[in-house]
Chains A and B, each alone.
Chain A
Amino acid sequence: MKQLLSRKIIFNRRFASVCLIVGLIYFILIYFQASPREVPGARGFGKLTGRFFPQLGGGVFLLCSAILFVQSFFNKKFIEHTDDPDKLKGMLDQNESVIGVSKIEFITNLVIMVVGLIYVSVLPFLGYLPATIVAVFALTWVMGNRNWIYLFILSFIVPFVIYKIFISLLYVPLPRGVLELIGF
């Protein structure tokens, strides 16, 4: 239990550190991306600019991140000096089975993110149907499905049906890409 909690605390500290960095970047960006001009009707009240609300939200975010960061050190101390299993269990929050992200999971995530970005990049040129057929085929394969009938149904039929529903019934102009060249 103590080992599990220590791991959770380390992950929480890392998460709080990331949040602190995100909060600080956000605060810096406020001065480049938010207007310092007062909102209409607020002349003379000084602070009511386009930066006012982001500063408020970002401030609460930074404060909470800092509390979480500091809390992790106190929790670590608490764990080292406590042997009461009930008190220790109480620190596990709601989701005790999933704690943080392992290295393999992190790498897998990065791979999924890169694949996702490739999908988004090729979508306008390749079109929704071809790009989604490839993506769904890859996803079905990665998830361990090697049955060719299912692979065909999921990769070809499902995107095609969705495509037709959106194009013909809902009139959503999905990107046609290469299909436009062949008049589909």
Chain B
Amino acid sequence: MLQQLLDGLMLALDPISLIAIALGVLVGILIGSIPGLTTTMGMAIFVPFTFFLPPLVGLPFLMGLYKGGIYGGSIPAILINAPGTGAAIATVFDGYPLAQQGRANSALKVALFSSSIGDTLSDIITILLAQTVVSISLLVGKPELFSILICSLAIIATMTGGSVVKGLLAASFGLMLSTVGTDIGGRWRFAFGNSYLAGGFSLITLLIGLFAFATIIERILESGKENETHQEIMKISKDDRLRWSEFRKCLPHIFRSTGIGSFIGLIPAIGQPVAAFLGYSCAKRFSKEPEKFGKGSLEGVAGPEACNNAVNGPTLLPLMAFGIPGDMVTAVLLGAFIVQGLRPGPGLFRNYGDVMYGVLMSMMVANIFMFIFGYILSGAYAKIASINSKYLIPAVFALASVGSYSVNNSVFDVGIMVFFGFVGFLLNRFDIPMAPLVITFLLGHGIENSLIQSLILFRGDPLGFLSRPFCFLLLLSAVLLIFAPGLVRSYKKNQSPQK
């Protein structure tokens, strides 16, 4: 294995591969940092270019783009409250308040350091696990996957909002939205005879609407008020420097989130957004200052950023081993692999070990470029932050409309984006947490597929889940997560009059 690793490293350090990786990272950061331009879209655009390149030039370029894009998504999340990618949704919660407090530079630095550390450590894990992951992945069947998804949803629904009922309401609304499109049998559902709706709502359109267009509406309403807040979106202080003492506090969260992210990455269909939320929830839970979360905490940026980047490496393992894409980006990667003649499966490492280890080592090299470019370019990003919201919001609108259009090259998506802008505005006003909605929308199809396939496996009997210990434990945890807060509250209520 050591020899294969060294061979892979030599292939990744080839000058042309290095240029491809550097270019990929740069393009990825730029694409990720522009709201509406997603890593998925960027990769989909550039995949055809790789068809004409050797595997160790084309694939490292895509790897660089992937990593740069996931990191780049944190930049608009921090600076303009619009996550560049789905993976950066959780970064908005504290990154944006930090930018509002004039600490955008520190937030960007923490995001860069966390992303680089999380990504590098998870890549090491990926390389070490590459050969043995087949046996681990084989243990995760459809019922287990369904249980994992439900447990993740329960965590998100109960942890992200003040009220469990509101969290569940948002989650179920997300499930309802995910049912638009086609059902598991391939038949149109809630499409109203419209071919655009038959493809379902695009996640990116939904995100741009819920986060960017809702912000535009809020700013328009604010501008009509007498006490208009100037430069509320971004306020940069020249004295803003990230102190070592501050970063040291983030380190435990980075390492913890790297572990969580790496684990999540191993499980297909969960992906960066869920990992980012779990990283955020865990950072909040283990922080000595949880009350700062949501108001501008550097730990609240470090947790999700390390976690979402830590997914990048391990998410390729189920892809390489079984051809199961962990998310949309890896689905695009899957296409690139097949075009290059690298058909995923247990034989991939056996037949193309040198190429695959070359690709894996190129991920490590991409992290170095990501750190360098992120550090050098952070000054340029910070300059954007000093722009008054008055000037930025119209530009955000122009980007949001073009971004939603470019998802499917359809004006219909621009209309959907406007619609979700209003939904997002209303949800904000009624304290309905957005995260459960987005995540359940994202996982809706996966949940439906795994649930129905599990029920088929159990011959229609839902009690079949209880016969599997792993499923039973996870589903029990989900039930406890939902009902425990209410039970504890009523117990305390009953106890207090007795005192």
CB-CB < 8 A to A1: which residues of B? none
**Residue from A61, A100, A117, A159 within 8 A of B418 (CB atoms):** A117
Q: Ordered nearest first, which 5 A-B pairs have the shortest CB separation?
A: A57-B175, A45-B460, A50-B183, A61-B172, A116-B418
Majority secondary structure of chain A interface residues (helix, strand, loop or mixed): helix
Q: Does B232 contact A (CB under 8 A)?
A: no
What are 23 A-B residue pairs whose CB atoms fall within 8 Å in the complex?
Answer: A19-B169, A35-B183, A37-B187, A39-B185, A42-B460, A45-B460, A48-B455, A50-B183, A53-B179, A58-B176, A61-B175, A65-B169, A93-B163, A98-B428, A112-B220, A123-B405, A123-B414, A128-B401, A144-B390, A163-B402, A172-B405, A172-B406, A174-B405
Q: Does B411 contact A (CB under 8 A)?
A: yes
Chain B: residues with Cβ within 8 Å of the partner, total of 68
Measured as residues with beta carbon below 8 angstroms from the partner, the interface class of chain A is 35 or more
**Residue from B187, B391, B401 within 8 A of A132 (CB atoms):** B401
Establish whether residues A50 and B185, one from each chain, have CB atoms under 8 Å apart when the complex forms: yes
Establish whether residues B460 and A46, one from each chain, have CB atoms under 8 Å apart when the complex forms: yes
Q: Mark B166-180, 1 if CB is under 8 A from A, else 0.
A: 101101110110110
> Separation in Å of the A169 CB from the closest CB of chain B?
10
CB-CB < 8 A to A101: which residues of B? 426, 429
Binding site for A on B (CB under 8 A): 37, 45, 161-163, 165-166, 168-169, 171-173, 175-176, 178-179, 183-185, 187, 189-192, 216-217, 219-221, 223-224, 228, 294, 390-391, 393-395, 397-399, 401-402, 405-406, 409, 411, 414-415, 418, 421-422, 425-426, 428-431, 444, 447-448, 451-453, 455-456, 459-460
CB-CB < 8 A to A26: which residues of B? 176
Establish whether residues B183 and A136, one from each chain, have CB atoms under 8 Å apart when the complex forms: no
Establish whether residues A42 and B401, one from each chain, have CB atoms under 8 Å apart when the complex forms: no
User: Of residues 30 to 65 in A, which have CB atoms within 8 Å of B's CB atoms?
Assistant: 33-35, 37-42, 44-48, 50, 52-54, 56-58, 60-61, 64-65
> Separation in Å of the A40 CB from the closest CB of chain B?
6
Establish whether residues B223 and A143, one from each chain, have CB atoms under 8 Å apart when the complex forms: yes
Establish whether residues A60 and B172, one from each chain, have CB atoms under 8 Å apart when the complex forms: yes
Establish whether residues A35 and B187, one from each chain, have CB atoms under 8 Å apart when the complex forms: yes
Establish whether residues B451 and A139, one from each chain, have CB atoms under 8 Å apart when the complex forms: no
Q: Check A108/B395 contact, CB under 8 A, given A45-B456, A57-B179, A71-B165.
A: no
Establish whether residues B172 and A57, one from each chain, have CB atoms under 8 Å apart when the complex forms: yes
CB-CB < 8 A to A42: which residues of B? 452, 455-456, 460
CA distance A81 to B250 in the complex (A): 45
CA distance A46 to B459 in the complex (A): 10
CB-CB < 8 A to A95: which residues of B? 428, 431
CB-CB < 8 A to A52: which residues of B? 452
Establish whether residues A48 and B431, one from each chain, have CB atoms under 8 Å apart when the complex forms: no
User: Of residues 158 to 184 in A, which have CB atoms within 8 Å of B's CB atoms?
Assistant: 158-159, 162-163, 166, 170-175
Establish whether residues A61 and B169, one from each chain, have CB atoms under 8 Å apart when the complex forms: yes
Establish whether residues A64 and B190, one from each chain, have CB atoms under 8 Å apart when the complex forms: no
Establish whether residues A64 and B172, one from each chain, have CB atoms under 8 Å apart when the complex forms: yes
**Residue from A47, A60, A98, A154 within 8 A of B395 (CB atoms):** A154
